[in-house]
Structure 1
Amino acid sequence: MSSLWGSSAALDTLKQGDVLNSSQYLVSAKQRFTLGFFSPTSYYGDKKNSYLGIWYTNYKENIVWIANRNRPISDDSRAFLTLDHLRKLMINSSGFGGDPFVIYSGGETENTSATLLDTGNLVVSEVNSNGSIGRSLWESFDDPIDTLLPGMKLGVNHKTGCNWSLTSWLAEDDPASGAFTLEWEPNTRRLVIKRRGVPYWSSGLQVSSSKNVSLFEYIHPTKGQDYIINTDAEGQYFTYSLDTEFDSLDQERSAWQLQYWGSIMDRSISIMKMSFCYGYGMDDEGCETWNQPECRLMGRQTFEQKSGIFTRIGPDGLPQLAAGVFDNRPTIGPADCRDLCWHNCDCLGYSGKEGTGSGCQYWEGNVTFNPDDGRSRSRILKYVLTKEDPSNKG
């Protein structure tokens, strides 16, 4: 194997035998996108596991694709990406503690290369005997994570068997598969968000097909984006493109990202008209309705993010710090914590576990929340149950 920079490979391409180590990058031809190893940073500045990902070159915090979301690297100092002579595109690292992570395993093609395009798509292609690029063998656009870039699809291709959908991160600093999915529903021609497989929100019906006007009832109009719905013999899908009439540096980094709390954001702007769904079904702009616990029906309860501590009255009659109940399961994130607390009528508040992206802490029973304007010794913000006027949206 040869180091990428020591070979004749272009900066946007891996050829067979090339190695990309943890301090090196692939950069697309016009430098729009970068591929390399990264470590997510939490709200508190902590870093832990590493991943191979793609991001907008000038906005590294905007990760648009991850190769190994559910198989993190504990030590990226020895991690490297290679396209070997058996046509396998894979990540090797002692931090895996096991076999390499294979991204693509080639077939009978003799020569292949992997190129990062200016669309953000990583494409493995066959290389013809004269050195020209032949047919595409695999592409990252067919293996989406939580992000829909212009030109990517949501839906199904009956010919290839591809079923395109997005799955949120588990938590802010944990890219593992989370609670929410975004799918295209061809029968109703709607975008649908599901939480753990249960319908949560939908875009509503198509209301317009003119340029730069929202196609759907419950999606905000976005200038410079054209929505495309395709139905043919090969399949049905939704995609969007950027209108060159509105071309700008900000528009160029457009990406629909399904957040770990269930919202769709594009450059920090909500695509959805509703920020969060509680399932009440009272003019909730696309939110689905589901059965509510009796205890939550009075006053349309919600959760508010606050800083402070929970206390309970001790044996001496004085307030004392109330310990939370922990749920240490590694497969649950903040959205699951909210749902579990919501369906437990004794639960008055919850938070994530400090220092981890997974797991929950709950406060139940005769406890009182005491806000402290950010002076709490705990770095974790709590979500505290409150009530609101039923005419407001929760």
Structure 2
Amino acid sequence: MNLSVAVDTISLAQSIRDGETLVSTSQSFEVGFFTPGNSNNRYLGIWYKFNPSKVVWVANRKNPITDRQGMLVMSDDGNLVLLRKDKKIIWSTNSSRVLENPVGQLLDSGNLVIRDNINMSSDSYVWQSFDYPSDTFLPGMKLGWNLRTGFERFLTPWRSADDPSSGDFSFRLDIHGLPQLVITTGSRKEVRSGPWNGRLFAGTQFSEKVVHNFIYKPMLVHKQDELYYTYEPFNNTVNTHIVLHQSGTLQRLVWNWKTTEWSILYSWPFDPCDNYAPCGANNNCRINKTPICECLKGFIPKAEDEWDTQGLSQSRKCIEKSPSDCPSGEGFLKLPAIKLPDFNWYNNSMNINECEAECFKNCSCRAYANSDVSGGSGCLMWFGDLIDIRECPPGFSWGQDIFLRVPVSELDRPEMSSIVFMLANEGLLLPQPKQPGFFTERGFIPDLTTSL
């Protein structure tokens, strides 16, 4: 049985022994020693006060204590240190900044911090547990990067229910291109959300949960020195968090006060099309359709025998149906309501018309789209193979439109023939085509901001 100390802080020369705990001011969170599952090891952790079985953070994930003689101490140099029975340090906050009057405090957010005793501001924090997440993403935590130092905050699951050391997966913010959420093993992407579109990560069904519930508000914050994803509950009565499981599945849980248990708001991935590039390059993954994978318009299968027994293959690739006649014999086809491909290039200052023109004149540009649906500006472009596209299933609205470069023959418009483009390139006067657009020295550029 744990003995709760009536304070939320630990100061110089004070300690918390195994069996004692600190409790945050509002009684939301508790920090102390615990034993996971069927293990005999002891760890320093933080858990919900109203639900002690849900541990949200672990200090000594790699170095367990094998008895009940552990002790948390505020050392003379202002660090929190975890000691074994023989006084050997097995974990430390290891901060290089020295405070005159340091204090460790468990906040109502679940964040364990070291700050100056007379300064309550977060600017005085020299260390905080929110910078070193375990498997749980709490409101107010940052998932992302310090752009100045390269420091990254990300989740890793427990190895097992008995072992809180880091598992094989990670949940992080990928900032190579427009930011997106990914679940990875090593450098390999297992699941990808699709890029941030100004309001949410459009490309997965948990986006629908954001739009249609009053549980939490997602935010992507981009400052001079920071780029991170965070969220906050709609009100103080909501207790919600994200947890990454050892299987690589991500879940958002919401506390139900009536049943006194955690309810699953969503799990990710949802279906086979959520897995990373299950159909290979230049393919569209279509759940509940046969076949589940379909080459994009203007592409054909490279080799039928590369499919696996389920009709899915990351090594699968669709290739161009006919040789490119760029730019004179090509235009753009609108693909509505899809998860945008990976590996994008973006420019926030361009509008969609400038984006189209820039993509058209660059023969390496395979497709383009709007990067910010909230403001209507911003340009996304893709070069080379289009990776990890999926169709937005019926009944959902998270998909986004993309404009795919295809031969004019694929546009099914007689006025958009190759000869029109070639004559325009030679500077000949032509009647204005029915398709909205304009002629340039590069040819006719269709205006596809209207529906095709």
Q: So what's the TM-score if we normalise by structure 2?
A: 0.54
Q: Secondary structure at the match of 1:262?
A: coil
1:310-332 Cα deviation digits (max 9, x unpaired):
xxxxxxxxxxxxxxxxxxxxxxx
Supply the distance in 2 between the matched residues of 1:162 and 1:184 (Cα, whole angstroms): 12
Quickly say closer, same or farther: Cα 1:108–1:219, change in 2 above 3 A: same
Supply the distance in 1 between the matched residues of 2:97 and 2:309 (Cα, whole angstroms): 60
Quickly say closer, same or farther: Cα 1:265–1:4, change in 2 above 3 A: closer
Q: Secondary structure at the match of 1:73?
A: coil
Quickly say closer, same or farther: Cα 1:84–1:208, change in 2 above 3 A: closer
1:278-321 Cα deviation digits (max 9, x unpaired):
96334479xxxxxxxx99922469xxxxxxxxxxxxxxxxxxxx
The answer as to 2:44 corresponding to 1:52 is: yes
**What is the CA distance between 1:215 and its match in structure 2?**
3.9
| Contact kept in structure 1, 2:93 and 2:127, CA below 8 Å | no
Give unpaired runs (5+ residues) of structure 2: 254-262, 280-284, 289-304, 313-452
The answer as to 2:180 corresponding to 1:180 is: no
Supply the distance in 2 between the matched residues of 1:158 and 1:30 (Cα, whole angstroms): 34
Equivalent in the alignment of 1:264:
250
Equivalent in the alignment of 2:188:
198
Supply the distance in 1 between the matched residues of 2:86 and 2:50 (Cα, whole angstroms): 28
Equivalent in the alignment of 1:116:
106
Supply the distance in 2 between the matched residues of 1:230 and 1:279 (Cα, whole angstroms): 28
**What is the CA distance between 1:205 and its match in structure 2?**
3.1
Equivalent in the alignment of 2:278:
280
| Contact kept in structure 2, 1:207 and 1:217, CA below 8 Å | no
| Contact kept in structure 1, 2:137 and 2:241, CA below 8 Å | yes
Equivalent in the alignment of 1:297:
308
Q: Give the letter for the 1:89 counterpart.
A: L
**What is the CA distance between 1:94 and its match in structure 2?**
3.2
The answer as to 2:141 corresponding to 1:152 is: yes
**What is the CA distance between 1:208 and its match in structure 2?**
6.7
Alignment of 1:95-110 (within 5 A): 99-105=89-95, 107-110=97-100
Q: Secondary structure at the match of 2:156?
A: strand
**What is the CA distance between 1:273 and its match in structure 2?**
4.7
1:231-274 Cα deviation digits (max 9, x unpaired):
12112111111112xx53xx22x111111101111225234252
Q: Secondary structure at the match of 1:108?
A: coil
Supply the distance in 1 between the matched residues of 2:222 and 2:120 (Cα, whole angstroms): 33
| Contact kept in structure 1, 2:249 and 2:269, CA below 8 Å | no
Equivalent in the alignment of 2:202:
216
Equivalent in the alignment of 2:55:
63
The answer as to 2:15 corresponding to 1:25 is: no
Alignment of 1:233-248 (within 5 A): 233-244=224-235, 247-248=236-237
Supply the distance in 1 between the matched residues of 2:111 and 2:225 (Cα, whole angstroms): 21
Equivalent in the alignment of 1:90:
81
**What is the CA distance between 1:120 and its match in structure 2?**
0.5
Query: Which structure has the larger Rg?
Result: 2
Quickly say closer, same or farther: Cα 1:89–1:226, change in 2 above 3 A: same
Quickly say closer, same or farther: Cα 1:62–1:296, change in 2 above 3 A: farther
Supply the distance in 2 between the matched residues of 1:68 and 1:296 (Cα, whole angstroms): 45
Q: Secondary structure at the match of 2:133?
A: coil
| Contact kept in structure 1, 2:61 and 2:166, CA below 8 Å | yes
Give unpaired runs (5+ residues) of structure 1: 286-293, 302-394
Equivalent in the alignment of 1:358:
none
Equivalent in the alignment of 2:445:
none
1:132-162 Cα deviation digits (max 9, x unpaired):
7781111111111111111111111124543
Equivalent in the alignment of 1:168:
157
**What is the CA distance between 1:169 and its match in structure 2?**
1.2
Q: Give the letter for the 1:173 counterpart.
A: D
Quickly say closer, same or farther: Cα 1:112–1:192, change in 2 above 3 A: same
The answer as to 2:131 corresponding to 1:142 is: yes
Q: So what's the TM-score if we normalise by structure 1?
A: 0.62
Alignment of 1:295-374 (within 5 A): 297-299=308-310
| Contact kept in structure 1, 2:4 and 2:22, CA below 8 Å | no
Equivalent in the alignment of 1:127:
117
